[in-house]
Each structure stands twice: as C-alpha cells, then as structure tokens.
Amino acid sequence: MEEMKEKAEKLFEGIKRHTELSPEDEEKIFSRLTRKVIKRKQFYLHEGQIAKSAAFVVSGCLRSYSIDENGFEHILQFAPANWWITDMYSFISEKESYLNINAVEDTEVLLLTRVDQLDLFDEVPTLERYFRIITENSLVNSHRRLLDNMSLTAKERYGKFCQVYPTLINTLPQKQIAQFLGITPEFLSKVRNESLRKK
C-alpha cells in the first residue's frame, strides 16, 4: 500500500519536528499503523467502550465530548488534520471511557493501539520522546483553557477561540463552538450579535 505510506509521511514529519527519526524507525512505526475512514457523524469511540487505540487525523476532523446527566454535550477537544485524539483516561488505564469521539466531517485516521505504542516505546525510544513532548504541550493547552474558563467572560473566550482556531470558525456548526466554550448555543448567538453591532 504505497498510498498509505504517503499518509504516514504527515505523521513522520510531525515527529521529526520534535525529535530525530531514522528510516528504520519509520518502518517500525509504519508497520503498527492501521488506516481507517470515519464518515461524518460516525463514531470512533462510544462512552463505556475501552479506547484501545489513539487516532492520528490525516484529513477531516474528529471531536471528543462527554454527555452530562441532563443530556448536555460538552466538547473536550477538536482534532483537525495532524492531531492525535483519544480518550486518554481510557487509553492509559484500559477502563471504560467517559468520552465519545465522532467525526465532524468525513475523516481519515491512522490508528495506533496502546499495546503497539508501548512496544514501540522500547523499540524506538525517540517515539516515546515525541509522545512525551506532545503530551507536555497538551497539558499546557488544557491548563490554559482551565484558567481561561475561570477568568474570562463568554465573549472574551469566544474572541480568543476565533483567534486561535480561525479555520474551525467557518467549518464548525456554532452549536459545537458553544459546547466547546462551555455556554449554550443561544447565548453564543447573542454574544456574536453584540460583537457584530460594535463594528
């Protein structure tokens, strides 16, 4: 499958932006990857399942979210092209996930199971370094978002979201942006309306 090698190239580039990777290393990693297509609205992971693998998005966009006891959805993460996504809790503990992950649009992913990942960490130490680094970065993002949620108003958070994810603004339904920001779609509509009037 020459086609699939092209797709993995994107991942290898990402790794090489953080650490080294020999052609042999690439081969070892490549042999553990599985390609999968997830159509719009289809699920990659359902709440209660165990997240056996993590997904590297080649094209398209996935989202992870939880559903609270009142049935409201809260979006934890969007994963556009070149991002990893999984339910980290379930992935590392092998316990039942509390997140759902599905496709915002038709999406193509490369899957890596936890078992294969751990094997690879021994075979290709530089891969463990890569995951250590991107996990550090994710933690910084998550902390930043926590503090933003505590210190900024909904309007300010929306403004920041527009700056940070200018691409997503146009492709994503507003409902989902609201669920990411932690407000209702109705209130986001109000906020947007007010922002427009001022210009």
Partner DNA sequence: AAAAAAGGTTAAGGTAGGTTAAGAGGATGG
Partner DNA sequence: CCATCCTCTTAACCTACCTTAACCTTTTTT
CA gap 94, 96 in Å, rounded: 7
Q: Which of 131, 161, 165, 187 binds its own copies (CB under 8 A)?
A: 131
Q: Is 119 in a helix, a strand, or coil?
A: helix
DSSP string, 171-198: HS-HHHHHHHHTS-HHHHHHHHHHHHHT
Minimal distance in Å, beta carbon 198 to DNA?
14
Residue 74 contact among DNA, its own copies, none, beta carbon within 5 to 8 Å by kind? its own copies
> Tokens standing for 194?
């007010």
Stretch that binds its own copies, among 28-36, 38-46, 141-149, 157-165 (CB under 8 A): 141-149
Nearer to DNA, 17 or 197 (CB): 197
188 binds DNA (CB under 7 A): yes
125 binds its own copies (CB under 8 A): yes
Please report where in the chains the tokens 């997904």 appear, as a residue.
Answer: 55
> Tokens standing for 132?
């250590």
Name beta bridge partners: 159.
none
Per CB under 7 A, residues contacting DNA are 70, 72, 153-155, 173-175, 182-190, 192-193
